[in-house]
Amino acid sequence: MTRHIIKHISAITLTAILISSCKEEKMHGPIEQSKGAPGEVSHVQIQNNNGYAEISYVLPDNPDLAYVKAVYEVGKNGKREIKASYYTNRMILDGFGDTLEHKVQLYAVNRGEEVSKPVTITIQPLVAPITLTFRNMKVVATFGGINIQAINKFRYPMVIMPLRDTTGKGAYSNLDNIYTEDSIINRNIRGLDTVATKFAIAIRDRFLNYTDTLYATLKPIFEQMLDRLNFSTVKLANDAVFVYSTNQEMMWDGRGASRWPSAFTDESAGGPVSFTINLGKSTILSRFKIFPYEEIGSNFYIRGNPHLFEVYGSNNPTPDGNWASWTKLRDCEVIKPSGQAYGTETTSDRELAIAGWEFDFPPGLPPYKYIRFRMLRSWQGHYGFSISQLKIWGASM
């Protein structure tokens, strides 16, 4: 009797498992029963662009249509598949790193995941954005490293990959990659030895397309960060007035960038204002960084933070602040990488501000003991300015 009951229970259990399996299999199948493969797309129009192609087409007359897909080979990622719903008749085919002809298969797909016969088209994209950027890229020696400049016309996401030959025998090792989609690329790689070194630089995109490689032998220029403890304020007759209980020394007190306190000057000034620093020693200047005041909400390209200014050097300034005793060293403009309008800041903009707005002095300058900043316009458009921290590099004499 007991054996009969056990057999009966086992049979019921097995039946339940089979029913469950059938239900599960049905759930993972096509969402609708087969109604036959749809017809093909037709009247395909192709617009070739830089690194991609835009296509349009006429959809097949099929109420069961779900989407159109394109299948093609791209980069080193192999096969790429793009889908567009039946609500549209356009599609972007991206990821191309060359200007060769590429075959693309287009399929119409119904709700039962049945595909039409393929329609084969040929696209021939224009020069890829990474190649355009590579063609105008320049690399030069700078203080403590190398400087890479380029124009990224389409603000295309890319990775600039610098390498250096550490042995002199062609054994290249990686330097820090530069990940960017900025329109204006101007990046320094610092901390390199001041010896002639071979560098190799290429660019890739997220599809693993690569440009050619730019080779250069460069010798970084010696520098070190100047000791802020040697700095002192020089108050000339026509220098700026600091307000909000702040003073000039706050710019080099070593606190690091912060929201408050930061050095502020009178925002109602009626013309360009200046401030003057005694470096403590005659110095061949290499570069400097301005760390801007951070407004609430992590905004930097705003209010009194410097936008346009000039830097001067002197070894014998007159107490009345007469500009005849000063030599202009460079004009400076803080450029927002994103190019966005005032009040709009991207992650790239903020990262640059947090790292410090950096400016190189031209090589070949004589040593100077005094430097002077002349502020021409803040981001808000007035003459008053705010600076959280100021760091200066060079070679003391």
Per-residue pLDDT band for 8 (boundaries 50, 70, 90) equals: very low
Helix, strand and coil percent figures for the chain, each rounded to 5: 15, 45, 45
Instruction: Taking residues 274-292, report their average pLDDT.
Output: 95
pLDDT value of residue 258: 64
Per-residue pLDDT band for 340 (boundaries 50, 70, 90) equals: confident
Which tens digit of pLDDT belongs to each residue from 92-111?
999 999 999 999 999 999 99
pLDDT value of residue 262: 86
Per-residue pLDDT band for 34 (boundaries 50, 70, 90) equals: low
Tell me the average pLDDT of the chain.
89
Give the chain's length: 397
pLDDT value of residue 267: 85
Per-residue pLDDT band for 342 (boundaries 50, 70, 90) equals: confident
pLDDT value of residue 180: 94
Q: How far apart are CA 375 and CA 315, in angstroms?
A: 21
Model confidence at 3: pLDDT above 80 = no
pLDDT value of residue 11: 44
List of residues 6+ apart from 17 with CB closer than 8 A: none
Q: How far apart are CA 35 and CA 72, in angstroms?
A: 27
Which tens digit of pLDDT belongs to each residue from 205-227?
999 999 999 999 999 988 999 99
Residue 188 identity = N
Concatenate the DSSP letters of all residues of 233-281 into one string: EE--TTPPPB-TT--GGGGGSS--S-SSS-EEB-TT-SS-EEEEEEEEE
Instruction: Taking residues 361-365, report their average pLDDT.
Output: 88
From 363, 361, 362, 226, select the one nearest 281 (Cα to Cα): 226
Give CA torsion, residues 135, 141, 204, 356, to 10 deg.
-120
Q: Which DSSP letter does residue 323 get?
A: G
- Domain boundaries 129-218, corresponding CATH code: 2.60.40.10
Q: How far apart are CA 383 and CA 379, in angstroms?
A: 10
Concatenate the DSSP letters of all residues of 331-373 into one string: EEE---TT-PPTT---HHHHHHHHH-EEEEPPTTPPPEEEEEE
Task: Give the chain's count of helices (H) and strands (E).
Answer: 3, 25
pLDDT value of residue 33: 62
pLDDT value of residue 77: 66
Domain edges within the chain: 42-123, 129-218, 224-396
C-alpha distance from residue 55 to each of 39, 49, 58, 68, 80 (Å): 18, 11, 11, 12, 16
Say which range, 13-17, 52-56, 145-149, 274-278, has the weakest mean pLDDT: 13-17
Q: Are 316 and 305 in contact (CB under 8 A)?
A: no
Give me 282's structure tokens: 């005659």
Segment holding 148, helix H or strand E = strand 145-151
User: 82-86: long-range contacts at Cβ-Cβ below 8 A with a sequence spacing of 24 or more?
Assistant: 86/59
Instruction: Taking residues 299-307, report their average pLDDT.
Output: 91
List of residues 6+ apart from 229 with CB closer than 8 A: none
Topology match between the domains 42-123 and 129-218: yes
From 212, 164, 160, 153, select the one nearest 187 (Cα to Cα): 160
Range 224-396 has CATH code 2.60.120.260:
yes
Q: Which DSSP letter does residue 207 get?
A: T
Q: Are 237 and 318 in contact (CB under 8 A)?
A: no
Which tens digit of pLDDT belongs to each residue from 371-397?
999 999 999 999 989 999 999 999 987
Which tens digit of pLDDT belongs to each residue from 160-209?
999 999 888 889 999 999 999 989 998 999 999 999 999 999 999 999 99
User: Into which CATH architecture does domain 42-123 fall?
Assistant: Sandwich (2.60)
Which tens digit of pLDDT belongs to each residue from 229-258?
999 999 998 899 999 889 999 999 988 766
